[in-house]
Structure 1
């Protein structure tokens, strides 16, 4: 059975962030992920994880100036010092929280930036992040994101992401495959998963097109969950979706799946 992690940046929005850990545990989640932990001391988050028997599955490196529209800085020329500091900060949190995977957001190049220069910058920064993470036995992830939700984002397709992984050449660099983004950009989810299975380090899900619970919309998630089981996937599946209403009430899809023989 896939191991589902609650994404606390999307779910349980009626609760303050630090109270969402308890709510996720009550609903039977064994792991959690979220976008960024940096507004809270790592030790305070670790206390919540330990108190509720939760594993930290994933979080992102610092994204730059999020309020100004930045969505990562890894591909942005001239930001390498800031990027390196972000890697160190993320690794500190990873040590305290005990998670093995960190997502590096590529970023949105500004008008006039050369794509070739951005790619070179991205490769250099990823090599740095991978080297520092490898020294601690941690994995770096990159994720193709659809341009409807995040216009201008540097990385959009699976083939692009896996080409980046090959170019970096680090054993601890993997692709974070989000079925929601994949369906919007490319479709053919099952075949793309099978094609790239060896290079996948984390999965995420959401209904398409509304990004709500995975029990409605155009994607047949029960089929995909069975496919994951059959493939032997033993990593986390992050529930990165916006609940239609109350998070717990909307988990009928998960309760039904757990009851399957």
Structure 2
């Protein structure tokens, strides 16, 4: 059976962030992920992981900013969606990667997601690809020094208009162009279903290549629990399990969804009836 990591940015939101680690562990999760850790000291987060017997599966590099203050502003106020593919923001991208690698070391986290960002008004996607590839190549080299993987994620343009990377095939083309063994795809089945569909066949196509570093899930279209919506997740979990066993894949499935009753006390836990035990 696949392994599931609770996304603490979206789940258990009725609790203060640092209390969500314990709640996830009490519900049986053995790993967690979240969007951004930078509002907290690394040692504080590491203590929560250790105290609750949890692994850190994934987090994002900062979506913008050149120092901690401007990075937090990019997260909380500016609504930035990443800089990896955005011309003129190479300094921000590099500063963010280096900070993320420091956090990854402290949290013993094996992988970091590098958000591509949105295509600026008046520019075309094709114009941005060369710079995107160069940024990813640099980041992969830096991450390899610390034994980390870096991930790219296709995201649907309904949720994030003008996002640079939207399709699985484009992501795998980028990987081939960069040519770094530690650059992988973060395969979010929610985004994949909205943009492309044919999800099971894409799992069968890409998971055996070794280029998928992490999965994420949510119900479509509301982004709630996986048992709400149009995707048959029990079937997809069985496909992942079958292909993983045949290919040796041993990664995590991140639960990046907003619980339907998440604002209520115990609402996240009440919605975990879908979780295989």
TM-score over 0.5 for the pair: yes
Distance apart, 1:135 and its partner CA = 1.1
Does residue 215 of structure 2 align to residue 203 of structure 1? yes
Contact 1:61 1:87 (8 Å CA) reproduced: yes
Q: Name 1:140's counterpart in structure 2.
A: 150
Q: Name 1:157's counterpart in structure 2.
A: 167
Q: Name 2:54's counterpart in structure 1.
A: 54
Contact 1:2 1:236 (8 Å CA) reproduced: yes
Which residue among 225, 228, 250 is the counterpart of 2:271? Answer: 250
TM-score when normalising by structure 1: 0.96
C-alpha separation in 2, matches of 1:112 and 1:69: 20
Q: Name 1:2's counterpart in structure 2.
A: 2
Q: Name 2:67's counterpart in structure 1.
A: none
Q: Name 2:252's counterpart in structure 1.
A: 236
Which residue among 117, 127, 140 is the counterpart of 1:107? Answer: 117
Contact 1:77 1:117 (8 Å CA) reproduced: no
| Residue deviations 1:86-143 (CA, integer Å, cap 9, x gap) | 1110000000000110000000122023433321111111011100001111101000
C-alpha separation in 1, matches of 2:6 and 2:81: 22
Q: Name 2:264's counterpart in structure 1.
A: none
Q: Name 2:182's counterpart in structure 1.
A: 172
Q: Name 1:40's counterpart in structure 2.
A: 40
Equivalences, count:
256
C-alpha separation in 2, matches of 1:250 and 1:114: 42
Which residue among 90, 93, 98 is the counterpart of 1:88? Answer: 98
- Which deviates the most, 64-73 or 151-160? 64-73
C-alpha separation in 2, matches of 1:189 and 1:140: 23
| Residue deviations 1:139-169 (CA, integer Å, cap 9, x gap) | 0100000011111100000011001111101
Distance apart, 1:69 and its partner CA = 2.9
Distance apart, 1:217 and its partner CA = 1.1
Q: Name 2:126's counterpart in structure 1.
A: 116
C-alpha separation in 2, matches of 1:161 and 1:124: 15
- SS state of the match for residue 159, structure 2? coil
Distance apart, 1:237 and its partner CA = 0.2
Does residue 219 of structure 2 align to residue 219 of structure 1? no
Unaligned runs of at least 5 residues, structure 1 = none
TM-score when normalising by structure 2: 0.91
Does residue 90 of structure 2 align to residue 69 of structure 1? no
Q: CA RMSD in A?
A: 0.9
Distance apart, 1:34 and its partner CA = 0.5
C-alpha separation in 1, matches of 2:58 and 2:191: 18
Distance apart, 1:76 and its partner CA = 0.9
Unaligned runs of at least 5 residues, structure 2 = 65-73, 262-266
C-alpha separation in 2, matches of 1:43 and 1:121: 34
Contact 2:204 2:239 (8 Å CA) reproduced: no
